[in-house]
């Protein structure tokens, strides 16, 4: 039976379990179970600390897992990122006191606090900066005001916590992170069972970026409306009982849907409806 690791807590936990459920797998925990068996698909879902998942997967103890890109790279193990999942997005930044003129280029000889010492060390080495790394387990942003560090390197989601601690982000992000599927081998070397799982997950991730738009349009406007909604390959066009009209259906990017509705309405389309897509394969 193959084993897949899921985060047992934190920002990634609920979304990862929800995604697997939408893909048709039984991984729901009713209490605080450490693992859940999906007998139908011969899979065991093991719930672990997100920071530990990369280590277990890299050693072959577990076959695949979902964790954050930042956590996987911090582990410094041999892993393949086989699928980005589009949730749990964050960025790894340097931050300094708001009234400071410090930049990453001026960190020589300073103390930098972080919960990601390996990622930080890699970046400092690349910049040829000699700074002292202060490793903390959490609440990194308060280390400056307490006199423990001169700057921090921390994962930033909204930046609100840094601002409340009197810090500001400086420089470009050290890393753009999100939830990812990791495996010991590349996708082509995985078992058919795991490749099917990845294809299911990919179908849901892609579907979250798209919606289905349907509308009616006069035949004489068909070229114009199809240019607005070309779909993936081509839009679906069906006749209506009103012979001079047709029904059109196409997938469009979710973030563009409102603008597309405006454009369709402006050229004469009617009955425009936008619907969510649960999963798709492109």
The per-residue pLDDT for range 203-239, each reduced to its tens digit, is 999 999 999 999 999 999 999 999 999 999 999 999 9
The per-residue pLDDT for range 32-78, each reduced to its tens digit, is 889 999 999 999 999 999 999 999 999 999 999 999 999 999 999 99
CB 2 within 8 A of CB 44: yes
With bands split at pLDDT 50, 70 and 90, how would you rate the model's confidence at 28?
Answer: confident
What distance in Å separates the CA atoms of residue 138 and residue 6, rounded to the nearest whole number?
Answer: 22
Domains in the chain: ranges and CATH = 2-87+178-207 (3.40.190.10), 90-177 (3.40.190.10), 210-276 (3.30.70.120)
SS3 223: helix
**Helical axes 192-207 vs 13-22, angle rounded to 10°:** 100
CB 186 within 8 A of CB 94: no
With bands split at pLDDT 50, 70 and 90, how would you rate the model's confidence at 100?
Answer: very high
What distance in Å separates the CA atoms of residue 258 and residue 8, rounded to the nearest whole number?
Answer: 37
What distance in Å separates the CA atoms of residue 248 and residue 219, rounded to the nearest whole number?
Answer: 10
What distance in Å separates the CA atoms of residue 26 and residue 16, rounded to the nearest whole number?
Answer: 12
User: What pLDDT does 218 receive?
Assistant: 97
SS3 194: helix
Question: Please, how many CA atoms are within 13 Å of residue 241, restricted to the half-sphere of its CB?
Answer: 0
| Kind of pairing between the strands at 2-7 and 64-68 | parallel
User: What pLDDT does 228 receive?
Assistant: 98
Paired tokens of 282: 């492109």
């Amino acid at each position: 039976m193959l084993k897949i690791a899921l985060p047992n807590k934190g920002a990634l936990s609920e979304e990862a379990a929800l995604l697997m459920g939408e893909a048709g797998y039984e991984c729901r925990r009713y209490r605080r179970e450490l693992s859940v068996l999906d007998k139908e698909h011969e899979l065991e879902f093991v719930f672990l600390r997100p920071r530990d998942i990369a280590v277990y997967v890299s050693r072959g103890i577990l076959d695949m897992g979902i964790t954050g890109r930042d956590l996987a790279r911090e582990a410094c193990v041999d892993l393949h990122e086989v699928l980005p999942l589009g949730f749990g997005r964050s960025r790894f930044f340097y931050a300094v006191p708001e009234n400071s003129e410090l930049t990453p280029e001026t960190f020589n000889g300073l103390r930098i606090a972080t919960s990601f010492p390996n990622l930080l060390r890699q970046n400092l080495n690349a910049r040829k900066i000699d700074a002292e790394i202060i490793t903390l387990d959490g609440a990194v942003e308060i280390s400056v005001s307490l006199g423990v560090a001169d700057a921090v390197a921390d994962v930033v989601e909204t930046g609100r916590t840094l601002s409340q601690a009197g810090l500001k982000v400086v420089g470009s992000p050290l890393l753009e992170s999100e939830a990812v599927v990791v495996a010991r081998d590349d996708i082509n070397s995985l078992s058919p069972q795991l490749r099917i799982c990845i294809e299911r997950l990919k179908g849901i991730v892609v579907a979250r970026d798209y919606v289905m738009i349907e509308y009616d349009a006069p035949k004489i406007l068909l070229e114009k409306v199809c240019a607005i909604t070309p779909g993936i390959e081509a839009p679906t066009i069906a006749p209506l009982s009103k012979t001079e009209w047709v029904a059109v259906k196409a997938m469009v990017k979710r973030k563009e849907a409102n603008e597309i509705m405006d454009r369709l309405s402006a050229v004469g389309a009617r009955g425009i409806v936008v619907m969510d897509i649960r999963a798709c394969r492109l």
